[in-house]
Amino acid sequence: MSLPTLPLLIDGKRVESKTSQWRDIVNPATQEVVARVPFATIEELNAAVASSKAAYKSWRNTSQANRMRIMLRFQQLLRDHTGELAELITREHGKTLPDAEGEVGRGLEVVEHACAIASLQLGEYAQNAAGGVDVYTLIEPLGVCAGITAFNFPVMLPCFMFPLAVATGNTFVLKPSEQDPSASLRLAELALEAGLPPGVLNVVHGGPDIANAICDHPDIKAISFIGSTHVGTHIYRRASEAGKRCQAMMGAKNHCVILPDADREQAINHLLGAAFGAAGQRCMATSVAVLVGEAREWVPELVERARALKVGPGTDRRADLGPVVSKPARARIEKLIGAGVEEGAKLLLDGRGHSVKEAPEGNFVGPTIFDGVTADMSIYRDEIFGPVLCMTGVDTLDEAIAFVNANPNGNGVALFTQDGGAARQFQNEIDVGQVGINLPIPVPVAWFSFTGSRGSKLGDLGPNGKQAILFWTQTKTVTARWQARGTGPSGVNTTITLK
């Protein structure tokens, strides 16, 4: 039986690629090849960009009211198809169905926010800024924009990009991850079903060659990237050198600081969920716990609670975490665990070689916990992107803040405490873009911007919220004078003064 092949989405149509390069899409719980994805040719990318460029001429002038109505229909379709999208995510990524459904819900938040575009894309107006002179700003789209996404959120990450981009009047070319592209493609099809005209949203699949071509293409004005630091740095540099606006949300090493006065049950529950959910394959995962003072006494309970978590295929709704995305990912994670042992960290829970009876071929890594981790160890320096929690202990909150701030990454951090003064000191002194107080590191709700910082972000503006509106638009300032004939200033004015 022949395998299904994924199409490209160009000019509103499903297009069978003419490429000779294909990649198998593998279910990470079973190793079943579920479909094949094409690595598009440069000619096919050019066709997608040309389609978006042609569509931009009319789409940019489509009324805000019509764009808003399309977003309203899109959010309802996304809601109606949550189950279908979640199943695609679980089949190709491996995360549990409840987690996949939660991902669709977080993407839905952004689309719901885009429904308010009529009030989000407003300029400013000053009447009589000078004698008879009015000054106002126009918030205009950029043109053809593009997004390159990672594998770990095949619905949420595209939603961080194209809904606000097209709602503000741009057209868009999406390159989803080649590892699990089906949910991204289906998401785009639903957006077209909602009423986006042909060419406003195109989808091309591919690897580094297509990503580089997107960076180089003269008709693409802005690029959003979410993924690893290595790739994000390359994309940002190459796109910027080509004169494009670019944002790159990249790697992380997120900390959770626990003070001894914290609610013990709450803190442990949140820490375990943030460390091991999605098998740790989140840029917002908590990968380091900093236990302050007497909170060190909680370590045995943390380990036993982690040991009790259920590992299984994502289709098992009782599972707490599923497989990692691929065999190479599993090998890399297990290699880093081995390095942690060699470098002297205390391995309290070892998830290597984890097997699941009902899915013996799955890429499973069990919850893994290290204690006594220091800043010079590779398991602390590197983003493991797996279900591995590193723990360290300090005596005071000041030491914990200094430890976190010394890490080069700044994606997110969390604090658990019942002391409001400590929480206020923490949020003021911590040098990290996103802070959770008595919550695991949160991806902010969609009407607030994603504000990772330092080594986790390149570009001044992040996805979502006000920053996304600024990123996908440009401001044009108009200074105008309209007066009755013969009432304006007489004579030539050679100064810079408005008269």
Instruction: Enumerate the active-site residues.
Output: 283
Contact, 341 vs 348, CB < 8 A? no
Q: How far is CA 37 from the centre of its chain?
A: 22
CB atoms within 10 A of CB 118: 13
* Rounded Cα gap, residues 277 and 488, in angstroms: 68
Phi, psi (deg, nearest 5) at residue 82: -55, -45
CA diameter of the chain: 91
Asked whether 407 and 418 are in contact (CB, 8 A), the reply is no
What DSSP string runs through 173-228? EEE--SSS-HHHHHHHHHHHHTTPPTTSEEE---SHHHHHHHHH-TTEEEEEEES-
Based on C-alpha coordinates, what's the Rg of the chain? 25
Cα-Cα-Cα-Cα dihedral sign, residues 329, 435, 239, 464: positive
Q: Taking a C-beta distance cutoff of 8 angstroms, is the pair 441, 256 a contact? A: yes
Alpha helices by DSSP H, 406-471:
420-429, 465-471
DSSP string, 317-368: TT-SB---S-HHHHHHHHHHHHHHHHTT-EEEE--TT---TT-TTS-----E
